[in-house]
Structure 1
């Protein structure tokens, strides 16, 4: 279903959210996952990715992990699409990713890609939990869907730009279809709709707290996959592409050099910090070329952090 047709599903009034309450599910999830979200963003794998240090083989393995994860999640979503505590969040045409991931894997591995991939140990743990939730406690699928899809529509768009540039992937989108949501015209409007639908679910406070706990687990599963990929990457001899942008581990104690910090300051009106960051970047040998791309990337990270 296209974004233009979503009005038939009640988008009209949901575009204008009223004042949110701390007890709204979207607010509880954002607050309850803030700490683990920051930890996930600070894993070495993610930091290297964001500064353009991407091994192509590792990127391919990341796509494999995503394929198994989304296949499991979307199987359980289909199984529970009429469940009253999940049905309002059923947007297969707009959100489902496993078919796009299949096309990405065919691009990277060729037509026999299914015979060349396996589910890693960390990914299998994630997959097993998703299936357990879908079979035993379907309302908890809300936490997994929120964690994955909202991230894909936010920070995921940053990763797409970094990967396309660092891996020199085709501008026509091959290998990155996972990040392309053809059924969504406005990511911002859709996320607003999705959060509104979440807040309208008839859930008691105990269930909302269980959903927050499950969302934390989802982030932890993701971190375990990141850590597994980082360990695998240590065995590769392939050269990496380095955009040379400073990350937390290379700041020499100067927090103003941190891209994530600069993005947060920009989102909160810290113009001076953005100017300082711009000067640091423009003095870097590759900064003049990459400045525009990274400015967009940092803004995207801030938007996801603050959603």
Structure 2
């Protein structure tokens, strides 16, 4: 799908409109799931359960973006910087590094996706929605590219260090999810890359976005957070989460749990506005 260029850039900026549109659902997310997220970093298995959900999400967003990149001018404009934010292969490597054994890692990955079917149901619903909106009008993928890339990039250095310290990691193995693909690019840092990503959406994309396109993006943006909330809620049903809850209550205490909650919440639910890299 293509659109006819027009002469005006976006006013107010598209990224600001997305942030405003998602403000309420973002705050609701933080208020409702902090306790669950406070436990994610208390166990490698629990942490892997969580990131394996988003391994699929990133994989499908990246797959659909690659499939539809030539179907809308805005997706084409984002291509030079979008490659910097690819996460799916890194998430898979982190899982294989952190799980206690290769067999357990493989079991988790296969549990998430087997024969084209996704588990849990919330993950299947998420993937189904991604495929549906990409088929209807691929410009809606902008809502996911912006929210998901911004969420995990914001505060990435701090989160990476927290995971390393918590699990005693001496190298980047196990925390590649927070690394950006800057090699071969003109970007000196993740901050520069994210600034360019936003600039493209706010300036270069304007002439190629119809009012309908913008409306679709803004309507889809809150649903990104709704889908993420539903995914995180499923971690509570796992054996790893139950063990982490018991261990956290027994060893860490409520104060430390709240501190970890704040950090963990930033991993998946920081409103995409700035980066630390």
Q: Pick the TM interval, shorter chain.
A: 0.7 to 0.9
Is 1:203 the counterpart of 2:192? The answer is no
Structure 1 residue 230, shift from structure 2 partner: 2.6
Question: Which position in structure 2 is the counterpart of 1:173?
Answer: 172
Closer/same/farther in 2, CA of residues 157 and 298 from structure 1, 3 Å limit? farther
Among 37, 56, 65, which residue is 1:77 paired with?
Answer: 65
Using the alignment, how far apart are the partners of 1:22 and 1:47 within structure 2?
38
CA deviations on 1:241-273 (whole Å, 9 max, x unpaired) are 63834749xxxxxxxxxx97xxxxxxxxxxxxx
Structure 1 residue 157, shift from structure 2 partner: 4.0
Using the alignment, how far apart are the partners of 2:195 and 2:161 within structure 1?
23
Structure 1 residue 68, shift from structure 2 partner: 1.0
Among 233, 236, 242, which residue is 1:236 paired with?
Answer: 242
Structure 1 residue 143, shift from structure 2 partner: 0.5
Structure 1 residue 34, shift from structure 2 partner: 1.0
Question: Which position in structure 1 is the counterpart of 2:4?
Answer: none
Closer/same/farther in 2, CA of residues 138 and 304 from structure 1, 3 Å limit? closer
The question of whether the paired residues in 2 share the 8 Å contact of 1:49 and 1:162 is answered with no
Using the alignment, how far apart are the partners of 1:114 and 1:77 within structure 2?
26
Using the alignment, how far apart are the partners of 1:43 and 1:107 within structure 2?
30
The question of whether the paired residues in 2 share the 8 Å contact of 1:49 and 1:159 is answered with no
When normalised by structure 2's length, the TM-score is 0.74
Secondary structure in 2 aligned to 1:236?
helix
When normalised by structure 1's length, the TM-score is 0.67
Moved over 6 A (4+): 297-301
Closer/same/farther in 2, CA of residues 35 and 233 from structure 1, 3 Å limit? farther
Secondary structure in 2 aligned to 1:139?
helix
The question of whether the paired residues in 1 share the 8 Å contact of 2:90 and 2:176 is answered with yes
Question: Which position in structure 2 is the counterpart of 1:154?
Answer: 154
The question of whether the paired residues in 1 share the 8 Å contact of 2:41 and 2:166 is answered with yes
Structure 1 residue 305, shift from structure 2 partner: 6.6
Question: Which position in structure 2 is the counterpart of 1:63?
Answer: 51
Using the alignment, how far apart are the partners of 2:13 and 2:201 within structure 1?
8
Using the alignment, how far apart are the partners of 1:165 and 1:75 within structure 2?
32
Which structure has more RCO (C-alpha within 8 Å, separation ≥ 6)? 2
- What is the 5 A alignment of 1:14-53? 22-44=11-33, 46-47=34-35, 49=37
Structure 1 residue 84, shift from structure 2 partner: 1.2
Question: Which position in structure 1 is the counterpart of 2:221?
Answer: 215
Structure 1 residue 124, shift from structure 2 partner: 1.8
Q: What is the count of residue pairs matched by the alignment?
A: 241
Aligned-residue RMSD, C-alpha: 3.3
Question: Which position in structure 1 is the counterpart of 2:231?
Answer: 225
The question of whether the paired residues in 2 share the 8 Å contact of 1:33 and 1:216 is answered with yes
Closer/same/farther in 2, CA of residues 96 and 298 from structure 1, 3 Å limit? closer
- What is the 5 A alignment of 1:66-145? 66-82=54-70, 83-90=72-79, 91-109=81-99, 110-112=101-103, 113-117=105-109, 118-119=111-112, 120=119, 121-145=121-145
CA deviations on 1:12-68 (whole Å, 9 max, x unpaired) are xxxxxxxx9653211110111111112223333x45546885332211111211111
**Which of these two proteins has the greater Rg computed from alpha carbons?**
1
Closer/same/farther in 2, CA of residues 174 and 235 from structure 1, 3 Å limit? closer
Using the alignment, how far apart are the partners of 1:95 and 1:43 within structure 2?
28
